[in-house]
Amino acid sequence: MRRSGTRGARRRELEWLAASALLAVTSGCSSGNPAGAPAPGNPAAAELPYASAVVSFEPGDEAGFGEDAFPDVVLGPPHGGGEQAGSLDVLSLGKGGSIVLGFEPYAIVDGAGADFVVFENAFWPGGDPTAVFAEPGEVSVSEDGEEWRAFPCDAKGDGAGHFTGCAGITPTEKYDAKSLLPLEPALSGGDAFDLADLGLTRVRFVKIRDRSNAGATPTAGFDLDAIGIATAERSDEEP
Tell me the pLDDT tens digit for each residue of 194-236: 999 999 999 999 999 999 999 999 999 999 999 999 999 997 6
Count CA atoms closer than 13 A to 201's CA, side-chain side: 0
Q: How confident is the model at residue 39 (pLDDT cuts 50, 70, 90)?
A: low
Predicted pLDDT at 100: 98
Q: How confident is the model at residue 15 (pLDDT cuts 50, 70, 90)?
A: very low
Predicted pLDDT at 46: 61
Which whole number is the average pLDDT over 92-121? 97
> Nearest-CA neighbor of 84 among 172, 3, 18, 164?
172
Q: Spell out where the chain has E strands.
A: 2-3, 53-58, 91-92, 98-102, 106-109, 116-119, 133-134, 137-142, 149-150, 191-193, 202-203, 205-210, 223-224, 226-229, 232-234
> Nearest-CA neighbor of 138 among 167, 169, 116?
167
Q: What is the DSSP letter of 21?
A: T
Report the mean per-residue pLDDT for the chain: 84
Q: What residues form DSSP beta bridges with 226?
A: 119
How many C-beta atoms lie closer than 10 Å to residue 60's C-beta? 20
Tell me the pLDDT tens digit for each residue of 132-174: 888 999 999 999 999 999 999 999 999 999 999 999 999 999 9
Q: Which comes out higher in pLDDT, residue 42 or 161?
A: 161
Q: Which comes out higher in pLDDT, residue 58 or 129?
A: 58
Predicted pLDDT at 107: 97
Predicted pLDDT at 43: 57
Asked if 191 and 167 touch (Cβ cutoff 8 Å), the reply is yes
End-to-end Cα, the chain, rounded Å: 44
Which whole number is the average pLDDT over 49-62? 97
Q: CA 89: distance to chain centroid?
A: 11
Cα torsion through 80, 82, 87, 92, rounded to 10 = 90
Predicted pLDDT at 131: 84
Pairing mode, if any, of strands 2-3 and 191-193?
unpaired
Which whole number is the average pLDDT over 57-65? 97
pLDDT at 8 over 90: no
Q: pTM to 2 decimals? A: 0.81
Predicted pLDDT at 7: 31
